[in-house]
């Protein structure tokens, strides 16, 4: 039994199938979370607008891709623009949509394909919350004045926020942790996606391209993400 004096983290479950929403809510509540269900896309943003300003704003949104009213992709984009620190896990029954979902600059922190195990959902939720809420010291790259702020999922180049999506931030962090190491596309996919079999190498190339563009907008004469022909990519800080 949970201590009623301890506020529980609230999770927003946006799912139009009542049985799925109730099942997921039961498992999450059994793991110590509070949940709030919404079954129509048009109701999501008004609810968040009201509750994000409260004393206990929700910590994560489980967001179905296919919804009546406003669809999940549109909602993900809007949520990320309005509340950039709010964690989002996308739910989808359409496996063919996953590559497109991850290729877009939507900023979702993770995705889960239906059908799924409720225990898997709980594990993913806990993992995303750990990443998004952990207050860790910023990691700094010597020689380039590039700082990673894990608490805010921000990359700062000479103090300028590069405006990275969650996937771009994770990609940069993986490479920054091993300067000079060459990562193949498969290795990057292993570290970034739960099931990279449904993500093409072109998705990684697309994210790298966007990441390099954002870095070059601030540092036009620096190339710290380098391509190694026929192998992959590496992070090479300037001396």
Model pTM? Answer: 0.59
Residue 104 has which token pair?
Answer: 């877009």
How far apart are the C-alpha atoms of 46 and 217, rounded to whole Å?
35
What integer pLDDT is reported at residue 51 of this predicted model?
A: 93
Half-sphere exposure of 135 (CA within 13 A, CB side): 0
For residue range 18-60, list pLDDT tens digits in order. Answer: 999 999 999 999 999 999 999 999 999 999 999 998 778 999 9
Per-residue exposure over 14-41, b if at least 16 CB sit within 10 Å of its own CB, e if not: bbbeeebbeebbebbeebebbbebbbeb
Residue 196 has which token pair?
Answer: 């990279």
Q: To 5 degrees, how large is the angle CA 43–CA 41–CA 73?
A: 135
Q: To 5 degrees, how large is the angle CA 189–CA 233–CA 143?
A: 120
**Residue 3 burial by Cβ neighbours in a 10 Å radius (0-12, 13-18, 19+):** exposed
What integer pLDDT is reported at residue 143 of this predicted model?
A: 42
pLDDT beneath 70: ranges in the chain: 1-7, 95-107, 131-144, 193-201, 238-239
For residue range 82-108, list pLDDT tens digits in order. Answer: 887 788 888 887 766 655 555 445 667
SS3 88: strand
Q: Is-contact 108 60, C-beta < 8 A?
A: no
Q: What is the torsional sign of CA 193, 117, 86, 79? A: positive
What integer pLDDT is reported at residue 106 of this predicted model?
A: 63
Phi, psi dihedral angles at 50 (to 5 degrees): -75, -40
């Amino acid at each position: 039994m949970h201590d009623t004096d301890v506020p529980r983290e609230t999770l927003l479950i946006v799912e139009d199938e009542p049985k799925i929403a109730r099942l997921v809510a039961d498992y999450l509540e059994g793991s110590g979370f509070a949940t709030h269900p919404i079954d129509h896309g048009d109701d999501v943003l008004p609810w968040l607008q009201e509750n994000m300003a409260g004393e206990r704003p929700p910590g994560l949104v489980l967001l179905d891709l296919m919804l009546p009213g406003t669809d999940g992709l549109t909602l993900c984009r809007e949520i990320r623009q309005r509340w950039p620190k709010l964690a989002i896990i996308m739910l989808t029954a359409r496996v063919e949509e996953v590559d497109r979902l991850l290729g877009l600059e939507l900023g979702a922190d993770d995705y889960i394909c239906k059908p799924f195990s409720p225990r898997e959902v709980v594990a993913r939720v806990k993992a995303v919350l750990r990443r998004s809420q952990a207050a860790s010291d910023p990691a700094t790259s010597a020689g380039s004045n590039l700082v990673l702020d894990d608490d805010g999922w921000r990359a700062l180049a000479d103090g300028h926020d590069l405006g990275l999506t969650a996937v771009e931030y994770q990609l940069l962090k993986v490479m920054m942790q091993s300067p000079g190491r060459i990562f193949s596309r498969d290795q990057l996919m292993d570290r970034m996606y739960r099931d990279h079999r449904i993500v093409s190498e072109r998705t990684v190339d697309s994210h790298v391209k966007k990441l390099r563009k954002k870095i070059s907008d601030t540092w036009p004469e620096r190339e710290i993400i380098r391509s190694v022909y026929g192998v992959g990519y590496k992070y090479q800080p300037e001396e």
